[in-house]
Structure 1
Amino acid sequence: MFSLVEWPFSMKLLWAPILDAIYVKSFGRRKTWLVPMQFLIGVFMLIMSFQVDYWIEDPEGPHILPLTAMFFALNFLAATQDIAVDGWALTMLKRENVGHASTCNSMGQTAGYLLGYVVFMALESADFCNSYLRSVPQPVGLVTLGSFLMYCGPVFLVTTTLVGLLKTETEPQHEDQDQTCLSVINTYRQLLLIARLPAVRTMAVVLLTYQIAFSANDSVTWLKLVSAGVPKEQFAVVTMCMLPLKITLPVLLAKYVVGETPMDVFNKVYPCRLAFNLVTAGFVWVTPHLMVKHHFPTYYYGLLVLIYGVYQVWLFSMFVTQMAFYARVSDPAFGGTYMTLLNTLTNLGGSWPRTLVLLFVDGLTFKYCSNDTKNVCSNPDLVKVCEDGYGLCHSYVDGYYVLVGICTVIGLLWMGWGRRTIQDLQGRDLTDWKVNANNPKDQK
């Protein structure tokens, strides 16, 4: 049930047009939604801070229903705020600087991840606090989820108040006033018209297919490393090592994302990221051979940081340039809806191939029992039979490597079409990405 909390970010396109249609003009088109949403986020955090620790740690079991309800509501508010921020970025920045929206987006997300996840997890961990922050060990960390929410709630309230009072919002001078006053129904119609634009339809095909090439690498590699014996806590350390890179990389890419051709970086990086499928697969293959007495040497973790760091450069470069391109082609009159549509297509393009990979990876793995070749270890019962007979299940065909190979071949084939298509989309006039709300022909 708790997985329901992820739905709002996947479904926010359903209510994005409402944010473009309904607003208080005197207060600001985006502030009308951003300020109330952030105030409510702060209030929800304060409310949850009094009960969340009990809901999680109750000796009779966690209270799944209230946890799901509260976090679903929190994510709904955050998703709505995200729509408003995306739309505001298109009008807050000058048109020639709108590509910097992706720089701000990526740096803000990384900083938020650092403070809201990495720092919290470290301060909540008794082991971390006892090792690095305390002289006298204690059984709990410095903070709990409840105390962390108690701190974050007022931070949201104060910062939102400052934004509401000090930051003014003005509509661009060139924006069509008739477009900004469309009704809710007409805004939904506008979404359908946007989706029917030839440029958007072609872009949708690109976004729904380009991530197939990386799906096996992205979704299974970490699982394979864990199964090979790499401690899970080491991944947290590796992730922390990447944070400075994730913060500085958007700045380094800034000069490339503000021009007319931000997707040039995407096209150049795509084959590099594709080649890394083979690099990471090779690293996974060699990992068990580098273990010494159930531990990995220091140089192994150095290699892990290096490989993961280079891969993050490719991944983050593609992400930042994509966001810059979205900001460039999106119609500011329907910025929240337009950006949400493109982001939703991007998310779907990543989720559906990863789901298929996780579905097929076991089915493409073939094993045998070391002391009974007739036992193929195809289910937990057969694995238990093998282990009860003091045998071990060995893979002679690993579905991970099969899928990495298949995805890499698909990626090579995709490049022949995709890179040319992206160049064509990037070269189109901005009017090809807009719908004239006042043109009767567009309303059919």
Structure 2
Amino acid sequence: MGDQARQLAEHDKRPFLLLVMLYFLQGIPIGLTFGTVPFLLKSMVKETTFTQLGLFTMATYPYSLKILWSPIVDSMYNVKIGRRRSWIIPVQLVSGIILWIIGIGVSRNVIFAGVDNSFHPENVSGGVTASKLNITTLTAIFFILITLCATQDIAVDGWALEILSQDSLSYASTAQTIGLNTGYFLSFTIFLTFNSSHFMNKYIRTVPQEFGLISLGGYLQYAGIIYLVITIYVIWCTSERPTDIPVLPTKKSDEKVDDFIDYNVDTNPSHMSLVNVYRSFFEVLKLPSVQSLMGIHFLTKFAFQCNEGATNLKLLERGFKREDLAITVLIDFPFEIIFGYYVAKWSNDSSLSSRPMTRPNALTRALVGETGTLTPWLWGFLGRLTAAFMASILIAQFPTDGLITKKYFVMVILQHLLGSFMTTVQFVGICAFHTRIADPVIGGTYMTLLNTLSNLGGTWPRFFVLSMIDRFTEHHCIHLGRIMSEHSEEQSCIAIEGKWVMTQDGFFITNAFCVTVGCLLYFGFIKKKAQQLQKLPISSWQCH
């Protein structure tokens, strides 16, 4: 199996590309919700607090709650359409329509009023202000969109276990990485770049204009069309099970039980009623191995929350142009795609029991332990921890005069490259591990459970961490060289023609706390537990 696992099988290339397209669709609303909207809120509505941004992050919660309805997606379907297509088709159609409607609402200043003023001067009635913006409404709208996206993810994760053969199963995580990252960067980095009038006037246009190439409302409508086009393709050009996937051999007597997963199992059995799927779901949760993995997922992403949730926004706050920041992230994109493939091979090669492994040196053993399936994931954790530490240096070294030098710009790029690459390493590594241990009998539910646990680790602390930044940030009113303690509000300070000055940035305290906790958790719990989990036999992850 060693040589076969390193290459994508020829008969799996078309299903692989289909998975890339479906995960690409997921990346579009994810990029908008996780990246673009918070970016626009902080750059265009200066008085937006990190606590308000934390409130908007609640729109991402469906990705951490989808396990509640994943058994429904796994067990209720139309036989003629297919188990997975029964959900993918209608959910994507509705998502496309909603994106189109949201786009019209943004263009007409009904939703996110003022964000597209430069594109529609007839609608201008002042800039984007906190008084015009209803964070709660904006959060609710994107909460609905992400709920649909999460439902599609349940079906696609389950489908990935069924349309790829065993030889290429590990490349499901590669398809997810390529598709999600492409959709994410299109909706975040590429959109912000071409939405910027500064970027267009500096690099593209010969005659300056006050607006960029594409508005948020226009992009949302285009995204809706993309959803509908790909969904039509799924309707007319795909089937539930590709006919060219070869039948896998049954288990031979000399094969080790621990290393065998029977992918010929019927993943569409008649007894998989809704009740049985929920029962299986709770049986999975009772497994000691799953409970240990749950503990790791619940704690592992706390260390990175301040860096990944606030560093870019802090750069914007201090005067870094959003289009220049978008360019730094744009540079990450080819690295994400190229390295995503090799990280998948790395994770796969680490799991091949028949392949002799070189014994790691003393330093490697001290950092990540013995070589195994989770070795790339452990290296990714240390890399993200390093990127988080570098974030504090990056913000502290921001030029006081606001002039961004080439040296500082390179520092920003390197910090982003390290963080994004190591995030990819962890993402692909843990997805490959999930794919390896998931029981295909309840494939969609099992994969959704594992992915939900992973998402939850990055969701639950975000609001609290962003709120900590505001809590530990202190301002004073300076008037005629003196601190005016009686003027403790910005508006009061401005009223006396004072200067509202930040005397303590809560970012540094919060990030230091997150990194410290991350180091203690990693060397005290995470590394040891990951070593134990990667050595468990496959039977430890199955409840049938």
TM over 0.5: yes
AA aligned opposite 1:35? I
Secondary structure of 1:394's partner?
A: strand
Q: Alignment length, in residue pairs? A: 430
Q: Determine the structure 2 residue equivalent to 1:30.
A: 84
AA aligned opposite 1:215? Q
On the 8 A contact 1:90/1:332 being kept in 2, the answer is yes
1:276 aligned to 2:387? yes
Q: What is the deviation of 1:86? A: 1.0
1:424 aligned to 2:536? no
Q: Determine the structure 2 residue equivalent to 1:442.
A: none
On the 8 A contact 1:46/1:150 being kept in 2, the answer is yes
Q: Determine the structure 1 residue equivalent to 2:326.
A: 236
Q: Determine the structure 1 residue equivalent to 2:3.
A: none
On the 8 A contact 2:475/2:501 being kept in 1, the answer is no
Distance in structure 1 (CA, Å) of the matches to 2:140 and 2:394: 42
Q: What is the deviation of 1:256? A: 1.4
Q: Determine the structure 1 residue equivalent to 2:428.
A: 320
Q: Determine the structure 2 residue equivalent to 1:98.
A: 169
Q: Residue 209 of structure 1 is aligned with which of 274, 281, 299?
A: 299
Q: Determine the structure 1 residue equivalent to 2:150.
A: 79
Distance in structure 1 (CA, Å) of the matches to 2:313 and 2:187: 24
AA aligned opposite 2:382? P
Distance in structure 1 (CA, Å) of the matches to 2:393 and 2:463: 23
On the 8 A contact 1:372/1:386 being kept in 2, the answer is no
1:191 aligned to 2:281? yes
Secondary structure of 1:98's partner?
A: helix
Q: Determine the structure 1 residue equivalent to 2:448.
A: 340
Q: What is the deviation of 1:129? A: 4.1
The alpha-carbon distance between structure 1 residues 426 and 295, as it changes in their structure 2 partners (threshold 3 A), is same
The alpha-carbon distance between structure 1 residues 405 and 387, as it changes in their structure 2 partners (threshold 3 A), is farther
AA aligned opposite 1:157? L
Q: Which stretch shifts more, 260-269 or 156-165?
A: 156-165
- Equivalence map 1:317-396=2 (5 Å): 317-365=425-473, 371-372=481-482, 375=485, 379-380=488-489, 384=493, 388=497, 392-395=501-504
Q: What is the deviation of 1:238? A: 1.2
TM-score between both structures, scaled by the size of structure 1: 0.83
Per-residue CA distance 1:280-337 (angstroms, 9 max, x = gap): 22222222xx44x431212210111112212222222112111111121122222222
On the 8 A contact 2:477/2:490 being kept in 1, the answer is no
On the 8 A contact 1:21/1:181 being kept in 2, the answer is no
In structure 1, the gaps of 5 or more residues are 437-444
1:286 aligned to 2:286? no
The alpha-carbon distance between structure 1 residues 363 and 75, as it changes in their structure 2 partners (threshold 3 A), is closer
Q: What RMSD, in angstroms, separates the aligned Cα atoms of the two structures?
A: 3.5
Q: What is the deviation of 1:422? A: 0.8
AA aligned opposite 1:240? L
Per-residue CA distance 1:76-113 (angstroms, 9 max, x = gap): 33222111111111222223432221111111112112
Secondary structure of 2:503's partner?
A: strand
Q: Determine the structure 2 residue equivalent to 1:110.
A: 181
Structure with a larger share of its residues in helix: 1
AA aligned opposite 2:347? V
On the 8 A contact 2:343/2:425 being kept in 1, the answer is yes
Distance in structure 2 (CA, Å) of the matches to 1:346 and 1:424: 18
AA aligned opposite 2:166? R
Q: Determine the structure 2 residue equivalent to 1:407.
A: 514
The alpha-carbon distance between structure 1 residues 72 and 271, as it changes in their structure 2 partners (threshold 3 A), is closer
Q: Determine the structure 1 residue equivalent to 2:314.
A: 224
On the 8 A contact 1:375/1:382 being kept in 2, the answer is no
Distance in structure 1 (CA, Å) of the matches to 2:321 and 2:75: 50
Per-residue CA distance 1:205-263 (angstroms, 9 max, x = gap): 10011122223333333343334332333221211121111111202212112242431
Percent of pairs identical after alignment? Answer: 32
The alpha-carbon distance between structure 1 residues 234 and 155, as it changes in their structure 2 partners (threshold 3 A), is closer
On the 8 A contact 2:385/2:515 being kept in 1, the answer is yes
The alpha-carbon distance between structure 1 residues 230 and 335, as it changes in their structure 2 partners (threshold 3 A), is same
In structure 2, the gaps of 5 or more residues are 1-54, 114-122, 126-131, 243-261, 352-371
